[in-house]
Structure 1
């Protein structure tokens, strides 16, 4: 996904951000608010953003004041200032004619998006991950330092192995904050994701948020994910849930397909540069994952490329048989097609070439009170499947390189 490095005014200085953009048409915009003392580049934020961009949704990820490369002192921030930074992010996108309609918040960032959304009529959907119902819940991460913070005005604490200075203003602000009125006033669809084994923010918080919110609202558990959603599989699951859910509430209207591609463009976008996982999209409504088996360095989260080819042959065969049987009004109750792929020597296929060729083996099961002639005819029809014909004849692949300036260069 193309990523634009940007900055915009926060409540007390400039905020550092990344704007992840779709490779195709821009259909909507989202903002991701990170967890307490985290940053815009945590794995969960990157994976959610990558998945949404494949749907045409641009995603703004930014560091709150005093974190990452954003200006300001973290010790001078508060929950209220986080909400203000979030409102500034929305204002910035509005100024670029990219008004966000989806807010996503992780942990304390989830509480911030709930608070901000109550004042932002343009937001149509809100998703939270491991969010606290009571923002003051976050102080248990440094409870031993609370007396010093309240007495001296601030103190240094260790969070996730990193030192942070926490100010008295922050502690008093989260202690006074009550989210229930804001949640009750939400005029947007709400998705709550939370892990039952979250040891930082217990799942009871998710229940309280759910009970306080009006419909439409959804609650999905993240099983054994940790609070930071550090596991790649858990991050992928969260991204898939958010993207699938968001389609229902965002007005994603893709443009007409380009001339010469009546079914639209199929795009494969790398999801993990350290592996082989691919986001494959066909417009905004269809998404699948492609991957390699673990034995070949992948994570086995999706079909392999040859698996996808086999799936195309199997599906097309079944559809072609069904179409013919329906037209003939034959008693075909069910069709299933098993396809396997292998590389074989060309001589095995009856040719004189010494090279290896691709071989697809297809097993067709037809259920119903069909006579022998009908079954034989349907087997003949299977060979007329368009994908079958494409695989059997020589195809031509035209390749063009798209450089950074967007000008196509024939290979």
Structure 2
């Protein structure tokens, strides 16, 4: 769920922002800083922010001054300006929801979140994606324009098919930043994500960032991802790693008014056809359909979840009984599948089986693998236990489903 708005920057210009809200409980809030000359609507910014929201992290992405839909001139979007814009974004997020606990920066945005983190007391974790170690690394991509700007002339530079203007102040503001000192004094958990074959910002930058920082710090390779993180799968992987890594460093979750009671599940639709956000027992995840039927394959299908519920309950019940009865079970593996078959093919040997009006029957096949030094009697005992698991019994008992229309919360 995306909320678009604007907020004032340091000099009064309005910055364009998009807040990605989780469908269910908000675990924490995060602030995303986009790459140099990109925007909040770049593929990486959108993919990562939305994937973080699916993990329960409300994430604000915004356009730096002079970029995207934000007001101002690009020449004013130098590094010091980026830092000031991040502080203004933090204020905006604090007013709208809560101060950010997590900062995520892509490319030069990564250098910016390192620089600003110590000035934001609420921040407990910082993640960089393809970030340069030195801020002035960006100047190496347009040496002629940099030289011209240093002579006091306005210089046009070409980046990503766009013509932008820089001046001497822009170049000067990109220099003289001691990122090593900032990293040594970060006092926040740091995650460095970088692609080994990044052709824009080499992997040596990740090594320098990691070496300069103090623990807790972590490094994750983005394998063959490109610098701009344009593949959705790479962005989702990065976001999943960030969300899982950040969890221990985020503030404790306080109970929120209206939280679901134990045993209740909430499913909320999205603006995509099949994608659903699921909230259960304080956990957030998604369900989707395969791409072959028009879905995005962002999560398990409804039938996958049904089978997973039966399989996990089966495994839990077997393990519980084996432990209680001192059966030397080492592990349980349950593989399940669902099919709809014609009743004539299914009724034999299935007591009480009933098909639908078209003569079809839902059949779930469950294959259980038990490992351990088990004798035949113990294996038979655990097989009987499998058929007594609570979810199995619920499915066989043909539960009554009562449905009504409720008022919006």
| Deviation digits for residues 100-137 of structure 1 (CA, Å, limit 9, x no counterpart) | 12111111111111111132232111111111111111
* Distance of aligned partners of 1:21 and 1:296 in 2 relative to their CA distance in 1, 3 Å threshold: closer
2:342 corresponds to 1:341: no
* Distance of aligned partners of 1:213 and 1:400 in 2 relative to their CA distance in 1, 3 Å threshold: farther
| Deviation digits for residues 334-363 of structure 1 (CA, Å, limit 9, x no counterpart) | 332221221111333324653323211112
CA distance in 2, matches of 1:4, 1:216: 33
Q: Cα distance, 1:400 vs. partner?
A: 6.2
2:380 corresponds to 1:379: no
2:27 corresponds to 1:19: no
What is the aligned partner in structure 1 of residue 364 from structure 2? 360
* Distance of aligned partners of 1:55 and 1:168 in 2 relative to their CA distance in 1, 3 Å threshold: same
Aligned residue pairs total 401
**2:110 and 2:127 in contact (8 A); partners too:** yes
What is the aligned partner in structure 2 of residue 130 from structure 1? 130
Larger displacement relative to structure 2 (301-310 or 76-85): 301-310
Q: Cα distance, 1:171 vs. partner?
A: 1.3
Segments of structure 2 that go 5 or more residues without pairing to the other structure are 348-353
**1:333 and 1:367 in contact (8 A); partners too:** yes
2:12 corresponds to 1:8: no
What is the aligned partner in structure 1 of residue 191 from structure 2? 191
CA distance in 1, matches of 2:253, 2:97: 17
| Deviation digits for residues 46-89 of structure 1 (CA, Å, limit 9, x no counterpart) | 23222332344321111100111211111233111111111111
Larger displacement relative to structure 2 (32-41 or 261-270): 261-270
* Distance of aligned partners of 1:364 and 1:29 in 2 relative to their CA distance in 1, 3 Å threshold: closer
State TM-score, norm by structure 2: 0.88
State TM-score, norm by structure 1: 0.88
Query: RMSD of the alignment, in Å?
Result: 2.7
**1:277 and 1:290 in contact (8 A); partners too:** yes
DSSP 3-state at the match of 1:17? strand
| Deviation digits for residues 263-307 of structure 1 (CA, Å, limit 9, x no counterpart) | 45354665x93x8566655455x5656444454455656443322
Q: Cα distance, 1:253 vs. partner?
A: 0.9
What is the aligned partner in structure 1 of residue 396 from structure 2? 392
Q: Cα distance, 1:28 vs. partner?
A: 2.3
CA distance in 1, matches of 2:133, 2:39: 21
Q: Cα distance, 1:382 vs. partner?
A: 1.5
**1:101 and 1:125 in contact (8 A); partners too:** yes
What is the aligned partner in structure 2 of residue 312 from structure 1? 309
**2:65 and 2:77 in contact (8 A); partners too:** yes
DSSP 3-state at the match of 2:82? helix
**1:19 and 1:58 in contact (8 A); partners too:** yes
**2:157 and 2:164 in contact (8 A); partners too:** yes
What is the aligned partner in structure 1 of residue 325 from structure 2? 328
CA distance in 2, matches of 1:181, 1:227: 25
CA distance in 1, matches of 2:136, 2:28: 33
* Distance of aligned partners of 1:227 and 1:121 in 2 relative to their CA distance in 1, 3 Å threshold: same
